[in-house]
Amino acid sequence: MLRFEVKATDPAGRARTGLLTLPHGTVRTPAFMPVGTAGTVKGVWPDQVRASGADILLGNTYHLCQRPGAELIARFGGLHRFMGWDGPILTDSGGYQVFSLSDLNQITNEGVRFRSHIDGQWIHLGPESATRIQNQIGADIIMAFDQCPPGQADRPTVEAAVERTVRWAAQCKAVHARDDQALFGIVQGGVYHDLRAACADRLMEIGFPGYAVGGLSVGEPHEQMVAVLNELVPRLPADKPRYLMGVGMPRDLLAAVRAGIDMFDCVLPTRNGRNAYAFTATGAVRFRNRQYRDQDIPIEEACPCPTCRRFSRAYIRHLFLAKEMLGPILVTVHNLWFFQRFMSRLRDLIPRGDWATMLSEFPVAGAAAGDPTDDEVLE
């Protein structure tokens, strides 16, 4: 069962630190969850993820139910044993992935009928099936099946998504069959503050041990995301964990923590690592750029990760030029460490509300930083 304890709060704000105790271990919050969509954090093995400081990983119902299948995972004793990770795991319900494949799905009040991205077969996923699959997979935290509307969707579209999300959340709770798994509800509502508030209130009436905020960082401006969080988060129960889904840029993390969010996940450390993009406290290092060709320094001087302790920027750039798989692995490892260092420092400074020190040590959190662009060609 889940137990959440708030340990300290920002003296002048909403940020907080805590301990989230789950069947497979304790998570220090604020926490960043590396994404292991298909039962692996791409390019690295579990011990390397643990060494970065991560307490919890994320898996995905949509992908795991198609390959290798929930039944097979259950026969192997659940996802923890199957993937060799003994710490906590959270599984997303698959709702975001299904709805993002808008050209492959058909949405009804019963769920979604969609074509598999693997073999094109029609599959149905709904609140009952998504919950049962997650019960089989065996994660510590599982998510209610929700409808995530497109970014900047019009009000009628978002209203319909909220109605389905609330209806499906109740159905998920009704069929949820394992006391050792915590089922979280997901607040939808787009950028409409009243719809977010109504969705949160109705989910709280149903009652969940934790609440997620979905449907942000899907195209809306940073300032609009922050405005939604500042309005919504105070409505959520103070004694339960709050999870912002799919958000990972440093300035977004900092703003969300200051709004009172406890948990995050994002593919950025691994996806950008595979694309020659390293995160540092002062900004991105893009190994597609020629300027790093002769640099005999680590990715980041102050970083204690194995990559930075041993390898130069010039060598890592060479690996990408040579299309050697070690290049993406080394940058992924560094990025995983960067995100855990970032969260660890937040946990240190929140009790003092010392945001000036946080920004001085991680200037990247005070400014926007984009993903690699298509014109950054390897030379």
Tens of pLDDT, residues 128-154:
999 999 999 999 999 999 999 888 899
Which domain-ending residue is among 207, 232, 266?
A: 266
Helix locations, the chain, DSSP H = 46-51, 61-66, 70-75, 79-83, 95-100, 127-137, 155-175, 193-206, 222-232, 250-259, 268-274, 306-310, 313-321, 326-349, 355-361
3-class SS letters over 203-219:
HHHHCCCCEEECCCCCC
Tens of pLDDT, residues 187-224:
999 999 999 999 999 999 999 999 999 999 988 999 99
Mean pLDDT throughout 299-315? 98
Task: Indicate the number of domains in the chain.
Answer: 2
- Kindly report whether the peptide bond that precedes residue 298 is cis, defined as omega within 30 degrees of 0: no
Tens of pLDDT, residues 60-88:
999 999 999 999 999 999 999 999 999 99
Which candidate, 287, 284, 269, places its Cα nearest to that of 377? Answer: 287
- Verify whether residue 265 is a known catalytic residue: yes
Mean pLDDT throughout 159-184? 98
Residues 205 and 303 in one domain: no
Asked if residues 190 and 158 have their Cβ atoms less than 8 Å apart, the reply is yes
pLDDT band of residue 374 (cuts 50, 70, 90) is: very low
DSSP string over 96-164? HHHHH-GGGEEEETTEEEEE-TTT--EEEE-HHHHHHHHHHHT-SEEE-----PPTT--HHHHHHHHHH
- Verify whether residue 92 is a known catalytic residue: yes
Catalytic residue among 10, 140, 252, 265: 265
Mean pLDDT throughout 226-234? 98
Over 60: is that where the pLDDT of 54 sits? Answer: yes
User: For residue 375, is it within any domain?
Assistant: no
Residues 256 and 279 in one domain: no
Residues 138 and 277 in one domain: no
Q: How far apart are CA 60 and CA 32, in angstroms?
A: 16
Residues 244 and 117 in one domain: yes
Catalytic residue among 10, 55, 92, 262: 92
pLDDT at 378: 46
**Residue 123 falls in which region: left (phi positive, over 0), alpha (psi -120 to 50) or beta:** beta
User: For residue 379, is it within any domain?
Assistant: no
Over 80: is that where the pLDDT of 368 sits? Answer: no
User: For residue 374, is it within any domain?
Assistant: no
Residues 91 and 211 in one domain: yes
Residues 178 and 252 in one domain: yes
Q: Supply angle C-alpha 71, 34, 5, rounded to 5.
A: 95
Residues 150 and 250 in one domain: yes
Residues 140 and 18 in one domain: yes
User: For residue 232, is it within any domain?
Assistant: yes
Which domain-ending residue is among 215, 236, 266?
A: 266
Residues 72 and 199 in one domain: yes
User: For residue 371, is it within any domain?
Assistant: no
The parent domain of residue 13 ranges over: 3-266
For residue 93, give the CATH number of its domain.
3.20.20.105
pLDDT band of residue 376 (cuts 50, 70, 90) is: very low
Q: Is 249 or 152 the better-scoring residue by pLDDT?
A: 249
Residues 200 and 62 in one domain: yes
